A and B are shown apart, each in its own frame.
Chain A
Amino acid sequence: MGWLNAFKLRLNTLGIVLIPVCIAIDWVGHAIATSLKLPLFLDSIGTILGGILAGPWVGGLAGFITNLISSGTVDPIAAPYSIVSLLLGFAAGIAAYLGWARSPRGWIYLWILCFLVASIGSTPFNIALYSGQSGLPLGDAIYAGLVKAHWPTWIAAYIDEAAGDLPDKLVTAAVALLIYNGLPRRYRALFRLYTPAEDTTEADRQPARA
């Protein structure tokens, strides 16, 4: 029953309006990384923040639609990976439900979860569409070396993808969590559209006004 709570689709008007905002944060997060010439994608901050803030459905839909819009405008290759982004946002929501956003240990779990979902989720698509490559020069160089050394293709493909996802999802999760924990308490409460596994009302109870 507890787990089902997080999975139940609770999308009121606030959730509906939040999704495009998370999509915009995905885009802006990536644009800022590009303008600062950082060697990372950082195109999922909105997805993960949406999941942490408002639960699996907001995060999942934000991730899914970000990829769809991106593939219809600037990057058609992103289209098949919409499912991975959906799973990523969904996973972030589940992590929030389990309370991972609020403790340092939980932060690590969240990073690892995002990393695993992104890398394991993307690899089958890389194998089917890209002959196992990830499209990133560094990762593909690793792939080339491993395959040349007779490693199985699917392992090489995974390590190729993981090499890019590990730092990217680390920074993505860190930024999302920093922002989340830096938000005023009432916003965290307002946007919590799921029922958490543990009672959080004590932690967010506002002090009485004098």
Chain B
Amino acid sequence: MPRGLSIYAEGTSALHRAHPFTKGAITLVSVALAFIVPSLPWVLGLAAILLALLAWARVLARFVPIAVGILLPITLLLLIVQGFANPANRTVLIALGPFSLYVEGMRVGLLAAARIFDLVSATFLFSFTTRPADFAESLMQHGLSPRFGYIIQSALQIIPQSLEQADRIREAQQARGLETTGPLLRRARAYIPLLLPLVLSSLVATQERAMALEVRGFGLPVHRYSRIVLPDSGAQRLLRWALAALVPIAIAARFLGWR
């Protein structure tokens, strides 16, 4: 049975134990700053901090292969396209005749790739150290309606279940002679026969599940007690505000000429 979609990695680091909002603040502020700070050294500095945090949470080893898989193609695309076509191009770096790559463009590409790196590492930092259930709970403890919390919790289970069901449907359809290999048009014709059974059974289940939820009082406007205890502290709250303050400060600095 699929256990859910989360990539949460068990751990006891300070980051694991921190309140989800604190980790969320780190992620959001890092991403914002990555795109606000003016130049490559700053972006790389931020990257170094994020890598250090990943190491502190003992998830660095887990992060590297995933990051490479995501970042390598996009980095190449950015370097090549910008290196080739950027309007500011003047100095040749790699001479390939009409397809030469220029320094200025590659610098732009590199900066963009570094910013994406910060985005990816900041996001994975959150995902590796935060249980989705805890995250949903933290939102509900601060005002998110339990009905919306339900949407998130249910989605995290139903996605892997549906993917598994889709595999079973594909096997059944293939046993009935459905062609899934060969020329493009033949493969394309298999698309709806593979998707439709899942949609139909999901919609039937939806009606039944909605009734089952109602007979269990789903949506009653009562005070909801917290199921999970999420430790927070004054220090963490202060940290969150301090981090948040960095964003307008950085924006203002850019306006005032920070280069």
Contact = CB atoms under 8 A, between A and B. Distances in A.
A and B interact: yes
B214 A61 contact: no
Contacts of A128: 35
A28 B198 contact: yes
A179 interface: yes
5 contacts: A17-B210, A72-B127, A129-B116, A147-B85, A175-B195
Interface of B: 5-7, 31, 35, 70, 74, 77-78, 81-82, 84-87, 108-109, 112, 115-116, 119-120, 122-124, 126-127, 132, 147-148, 150-152, 154-156, 158-159, 161-163, 166, 170, 180, 184, 187-188, 190-192, 194-196, 198-200, 202-203, 205-207, 209-210, 213-214, 218-219
A133 B78 contact: yes
Contacts of A37: 187
Interface of A: 11, 13-14, 16-21, 23-25, 27-29, 31-33, 35-39, 42, 45, 49, 61, 65, 69, 71-73, 75-77, 79, 128-131, 133, 135, 137, 140-141, 143-145, 147-148, 150, 153, 175, 178-179, 182-183, 187, 190-191
Contacts of A150: 87
Contact of A143 (B81, B155, B191, B203): B81
A65 B213 CA distance: 21
A147 B115 CA distance: 22
Given A17-B213, A23-B155, A29 B195 contact: yes
Contact of B207 (A35, A38, A190): A190
Nearest to B219: A13
Contact of A175 (B163, B170, B192, B205): B192
Nearest to B196: A179
Nearest to A19: B151
A20 B210 CA distance: 12
B70 A76 contact: yes
A140 B73 CA distance: 12
Contacts of B6: 72-73
A54 to B, nearest CB: 10
Given A45-B195, A72-B127, A153-B87, A131 B190 contact: no
Nearest to B202: A21
Given A32-B194, A179-B199, A14 B210 contact: yes
A13 B214 contact: yes
Contact of A77 (B86, B116, B154, B202): B116
A58 to B, nearest CB: 10
The residue among B124, B162, B187 with the most chain A CB atoms within 10 A of its own CB is B162
A131 B115 CA distance: 11
A153 to B, nearest CB: 7
